[in-house]
């Protein structure tokens, strides 16, 4: 076995395996992992063949492990364990205080054996292909009315995660911050998809309802709107009222010292399970 930086053919195999598992891998996430966050990804080869991949993104006070996948015919032989332990070792060198991940029931035993504890659940909510397509800033541009919301979103993200995360700066380039009262979120743009997150709330459910209405209105017809919501942060009825349906969930797990992290204002995460 050898650990490698994934090459073009490796990424193609990863995407094929991820698609077979029903994963939605955002193009923005791929661009980050193949660009500015390329040192946060490991591929595994065995006898010259691509065996699997894992990502491990360090945000400062926190870090996230995601995208752990092994070639189907080689599962159950310890490859996933080796990749996971290598990722943990890399994050230990970077002195990450806490390491986070979202776990399927199949992956849960591996993470539990490595000292991860369940601290909540993340639920995937999807609104299928509708919207009103309000104007959205071109990628990389901010209108003057967006700037206060972007600053407020950075502040909420910093208070939640115990420090500034460069991840949000990357995502702000391809999304639009929206705010309604005490509810503030980033609406990310993807081909055929919008992602609502990160999303923070300090107000009541009425603010969340208004923000959801604005997010839907900013989504074009035919695009899905997706949010990975921290269970308990928002009443499911608020999401169902505007047409969302729940499409599965995972465990939120953490290992290490998470004392400086406060998820009380967290509504939904910034990525679909792998970057936080």
Short-list 55, 44, 53, 41, CA closest to 14: 53
As a whole number of angstroms, the distance between CA 83 and CA 77 comes to 12
Kindly report, residue by residue over 146-205, the tens digit of the pLDDT. 789 999 999 999 999 999 998 999 999 889 999 999 999 999 998 889 999 999 997 789
Give me the residues of the chain with pLDDT under 50, please: 134-144
253 and 102 Cβ atoms separated by less than 8 Å: yes
DSSP annotation of 167: H
**Which residue segments constitute the domains of the chain, with CATH numbers given?**
2-116 (3.40.630.30), 124-268 (3.40.630)
**56-60: long-range contacts at Cβ-Cβ below 8 A with a sequence spacing of 24 or more?**
56/87, 56/88, 56/90, 56/91, 57/167, 57/274, 57/275, 57/276, 58/91, 58/94, 58/96, 59/161, 59/163, 59/165, 59/166, 59/167, 59/276, 60/161, 60/162, 60/163, 60/164, 60/165
Kindly report, residue by residue over 194-214, the tens digit of the pLDDT. 999 999 997 789 999 999 999
Report field, pTM of the whole predicted structure over 0.75? yes
As a whole number of angstroms, the distance between CA 203 and CA 233 comes to 12
As a whole number of angstroms, the distance between CA 26 and CA 13 comes to 16
């Amino acid at each position: 076995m050898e650990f490698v930086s994934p090459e073009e053919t490796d990424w193609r195999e990863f995407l094929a395996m991820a698609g077979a598992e029903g994963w939605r891998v955002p193009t923005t996430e791929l661009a980050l992992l193949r660009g500015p966050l390329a040192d946060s990804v490991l591929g595994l080869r065995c006898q010259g063949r691509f065996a699997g991949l894992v990502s491990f993104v360090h945000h400062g006070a926190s870090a996230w492990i995601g995208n752990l996948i092994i070639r189907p015919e080689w599962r159950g032989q310890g490859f996933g364990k080796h990749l996971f332990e290598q990722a943990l070792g890399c994050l230990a060198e970077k002195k990450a205080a806490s390491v986070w991940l979202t776990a399927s029931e199949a992956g849960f035993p591996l993470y539990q054996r490595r000292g991860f504890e369940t601290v909540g659940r993340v639920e995937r909510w999807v609104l299928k292909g509708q919207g009103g397509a309000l104007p959205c800033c071109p990628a990389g541009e901010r209108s003057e009315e967006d700037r206060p919301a972007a600053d407020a979103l950075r502040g909420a993200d910093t208070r939640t995660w115990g420090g500034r995360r460069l991840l949000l700066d990357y995502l702000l380039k391809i999304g639009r911050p929206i705010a309604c009262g005490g509810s503030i979120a980033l609406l990310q743009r993807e081909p055929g998809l919008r992602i609502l997150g990160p999303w923070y709330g300090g107000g009541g459910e009425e603010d969340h309802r208004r923000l959801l209405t604005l997010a839907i209105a900013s989504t074009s017809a035919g695009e899905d709107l997706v949010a990975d919501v921290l269970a308990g942060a928002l009443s499911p009825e608020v999401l169902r009222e505007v047409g969302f349906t729940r499409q599965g969930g995972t465990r939120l797990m953490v290992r290490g010292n998470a004392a400086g992290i406060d998820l009380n204002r967290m509504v939904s995460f910034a990525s679909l399970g792998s970057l936080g």
